[in-house]
Amino acid sequence: MSNKDMQQTIIDAFNYRHATKRFDASKKIDDSDFDTILEAGRLSPSSLGLEPWRFLVVQSEDLRNKLHELSGGARGQLETASHFVLILARKNVTKSSPHVHHILRDLKQYDDDSIKAFGDKVEGFQTNFHINDNERTLLDWSSKQTYIALGNMMTSAALLGIDSCPMEGFDIDAVEQLLDDEGIADMKEFAPSVMVAFGYREKEPKEKIRQPQEDVVEWL
């Protein structure tokens, strides 16, 4: 494909994507298409490469019903989406967290010296950026990373002709409690970050309105 064609494909995908409120519940996403969307999330970049996320694919009707009660902004999507993902952000990702050690030692096979050097880098960076001021700032930093995965998943879906909707319209404390009560994830380690639904549109969306490029881009 030429660059010109690729440019058009990319722009078409961004125009195609819209926040889908209801999906055609009779249409299911093909397994390999959905796996590609998950891969787009998994392969996403993250600060210092620490991948502070987990993707819960919520297909259980029972769990969707429980989330429905707690998610005013996600009701239509929970009822109709082919696939529904709740993205969790990891808590307390610092140089001394077990997760960081797992990534460095088990995954990246760093030796002790490299782990120590990397730990110093993590600490220096997190201090400079006020990331490790408190648990809240640490969680916000992890959450930010999950939104990169979120964006990549939605764009990949759009390229495959699949609709999506990102959602923060849920009671975050109640969802955290639900996940804890159901033993789905350890809420000492994770917190809900954002939801995203996938499927095929029930009806055509309204025209996309955005600020013009000259209002949002400044060349210096």
Ligand X SMILES: Cc1cc2nc3c(=O)[nH]c(=O)nc-3n(C[C@H](O)[C@H](O)[C@H](O)COP(=O)(O)O)c2cc1C
Q: What are the residues binding ligand X (CB under 6 A)?
A: 18-19, 21, 73-74, 165-169, 194, 208
**Which of 63, 53, 62, 59 has its CA nearest to residue 88?**
53
Would you give the distance in Å from CA 49 to the centre of its chain?
A: 15
**Which of 9, 14, 10, 29 has its CA nearest to residue 201?**
29
Nearest approach, Cβ of residue 171 and ligand X (Å): 11
Q: What 3-state class would DSSP assign to 57?
A: strand
Residue 18 or 27: the one with the smaller Cβ distance to ligand X is: 18
Residue 138 or 165: the one with the smaller Cβ distance to ligand X is: 165
Residue 49 or 72: the one with the smaller Cβ distance to ligand X is: 72
Would you give the distance in Å from CA 184 to the centre of its chain?
A: 18
Nearest approach, Cβ of residue 80 and ligand X (Å): 12
Nearest approach, Cβ of residue 138 and ligand X (Å): 20
Nearest approach, Cβ of residue 211 and ligand X (Å): 12
| Neighbour-count burial for 9-21, b at 16+ CB within 10 Å, e otherwise | eeeebeebbbebb
Residue 77 or 132: the one with the smaller Cβ distance to ligand X is: 77
Q: Which tokens go with 198?
A: 């996938």
